[in-house]
Structure 1
């Protein structure tokens, strides 16, 4: 919450950014661009937030606000309401540093709206308290009281006792500022009462914490005593075992000699087996080599046969192509001859038809001549 915050009027002056800070900003801008291209929204927001704090801490509140406003769409897209509320709160604080109460109020109003979207009752109450502080700075006392009364109602319903001192204190101040001294004194008494109550609760918590620590120390001491007893019992058992183990050591040595002989015999057998395995491996290797040579021979034979077959196929293909070309040429020539024969037949038919016509004409002329000339007997007379 904002109670007790100081406003620095000097922060309004524009301060140049040092070279190393500007280099850092440039690097973060590059990171932001890369993250934005990869759609890595969280990384993009983180880079911009770092830029903002550099501007804020180095006397450039205007650039800080500008950069914060670039972060807002990212958190909106992610639906990251918690961080969105923080952004609006930070923007409001920067405006308060700049003594721009009007814009600070707008930022804190948006912060309240975000908390309402979240459904966070305690957060809504706290955001309303912050807003009322800004409203009071702008001498909007009645609006501040309205905001505080809503915050108080939520705090009482939700049993958010830690918010009540700030609410009562601001209500007392605002009622006094509007001239309602009685109401102001009433809330001042409530403020003192809740402060005393919370202090008592805090003392109870501290007492319970001390009691728990004392109980823990007692249990720790008991555990240490028990551990000491167990250690003594363990040492006694170890001593007894040492006494019993002397005779067993002698027996163990005798057994170990027999075991050593057995191991030696087993090692010799293992060596013999290894030699036999080596010989078998050599024979197997020779077999593998012979098999590989045979496989190579088969492969080469198959490849040679395939090559010969391929050559034969090429020869047959070319021969077939030549025959096809010759047949095609012959067919074309036959077509030409056949066409010529057809043409000759047509010419012959025309000549025959003409001959027929000529013959018919001659016959017709003879008939006409006969009809015109007198008979031969008459000519002879």
Structure 2
């Protein structure tokens, strides 16, 4: 049963690799614009003798072509960058370019070239002395040796990488080491060792899958909470706008009522004034009539 799972894993890994090698990505308009931008910067920076920045922009162009499976062009740009970085003695950049070239030649199934570049990268890593990077470099070499079906050499390299990975407690490196050790012991017919390492591989594989799931879950919850806050903010703004609108309508109603009251008051005042005038006129007419009557009486 364990052998079945092991063979299934190998089959899946090769299927993924085959699918990737067949997959082609056209260069998008946005990528072309970026390439043109970096090309112009390279010309400008060369004139200014800013070699480090020239190399960085050449790397950026190389990565775009690599992402779109234009390997030949990508290789040329990495090689141009490599020459400049050697001129200025940028060891860290040289190490990374060697590693990139090793990976790219592995993708192209040019395994001997891939191995050469990974070895060059490892040499620099060992000179620098950072254990994490040394372990990574050893695993890269062991992966190519496994593909070249050189299991004994691969096992020797992996045993060195495994010691470093254990000291660092580097779970991802431990998973890779146990997986490759299982494969290579299978190739030399050491079934028991192969199963033993495969069991170790499964432990780390499950652990890292669980960890990855938990990290994704945390990120998802953060993203969800962020979106919920945005929605809540929009709701609060809408509520505020609605309250303000209601207040505006209420104020308009109050103003209208006040206006109506004012008009009624003015009309009432006008009516009272007119009535007073009318009463005054009537009083005058009455007095006039009485005066006229008295005059007539005196005449008689």
Q: TM-score, normalised by structure 1?
A: 0.46
Mapping 1:163-242, distance limit 5 Å: 163-195=173-205
Q: Distance in 1 between matches of 2:72 and 2:93?
A: 20
Q: 1:24 to 1:156 in 2, by over 3 A?
A: closer
Q: Distance in 1 between matches of 2:138 and 2:49?
A: 35
* Other structure's SS at 2:17 match: coil
Question: C-alpha displacement at 1:198, in angstroms?
Answer: 6.6
* Other structure's SS at 1:6 match: helix
Q: Distance in 2 between matches of 1:129 and 1:64?
A: 24
Q: Distance in 1 between matches of 2:159 and 2:68?
A: 38
Alignment counterpart, residue 86 of structure 1, candidates 81, 96, 103: 96
Question: C-alpha displacement at 1:191, in angstroms?
Answer: 2.5
Partner of 2:4: none
Q: Does structure 2 retain, via aligned residues, the 8 Å contact 1:155–1:164?
A: yes
Q: Does structure 2 retain, via aligned residues, the 8 Å contact 1:88–1:107?
A: yes
Q: Distance in 2 between matches of 1:199 and 1:18?
A: 33
User: Residues 154-173 of structure 1: CA distance to partner in whole angstroms, max 9, x if unpaired?
Assistant: 22233334421211111011
Partner of 1:295: none
Q: Does structure 2 retain, via aligned residues, the 8 Å contact 1:9–1:99?
A: no
Q: 1:104 to 1:199 in 2, by over 3 A?
A: closer
Residues paired across the two proteins, number? 201
Partner of 1:150: 160
* Other structure's SS at 1:90 match: helix
**Residue 141 (str. 1) matches residue 159 (str. 2):** no
Q: TM-score, normalised by structure 2?
A: 0.57
Q: 1:180 to 1:17 in 2, by over 3 A?
A: same
Unaligned runs of 5+ in 1: 210-381
Alignment counterpart, residue 121 of structure 2, candidates 103, 111, 121: 111
Q: Distance in 2 between matches of 1:179 and 1:95?
A: 29
User: Residues 199-239 of structure 1: CA distance to partner in whole angstroms, max 9, x if unpaired?
Assistant: 89x59x99xx9xxxxxxxxxxxxxxxxxxxxxxxxxxxxxx
Alignment counterpart, residue 63 of structure 1, candidates 44, 65, 73: 73
Q: 1:43 to 1:182 in 2, by over 3 A?
A: same
Alignment counterpart, residue 6 of structure 1, candidates 17, 26, 42: 17
Greater Cα radius of gyration, structure 1 or 2: 1
Question: C-alpha displacement at 1:52, in angstroms?
Answer: 0.9
Q: Distance in 2 between matches of 1:189 and 1:19?
A: 47
Mapping 1:356-367, distance limit 5 Å: none
CA RMSD of aligned residues (A): 3.5
Q: 1:196 to 1:30 in 2, by over 3 A?
A: closer
Q: Distance in 1 between matches of 2:177 and 2:153?
A: 14
Q: Distance in 2 between matches of 1:22 and 1:56?
A: 13
Q: 1:33 to 1:197 in 2, by over 3 A?
A: closer
Q: 1:199 to 1:34 in 2, by over 3 A?
A: closer
Partner of 1:122: 132
Question: C-alpha displacement at 1:78, in angstroms?
Answer: 4.3
User: Residues 250-294 of structure 1: CA distance to partner in whole angstroms, max 9, x if unpaired?
Assistant: xxxxxxxxxxxxxxxxxxxxxxxxxxxxxxxxxxxxxxxxxxxxx
Q: Does structure 2 retain, via aligned residues, the 8 Å contact 1:91–1:104?
A: yes
Question: C-alpha displacement at 1:50, in angstroms?
Answer: 2.1
Question: C-alpha displacement at 1:54, in angstroms?
Answer: 2.9
Mapping 1:294-313, distance limit 5 Å: none
Q: Distance in 2 between matches of 1:118 and 1:86?
A: 13
Q: Does structure 2 retain, via aligned residues, the 8 Å contact 1:81–1:118?
A: no
* Other structure's SS at 1:99 match: coil
**Residue 37 (str. 1) matches residue 47 (str. 2):** yes
Q: Distance in 1 between matches of 2:191 and 2:207?
A: 24
Partner of 2:8: none
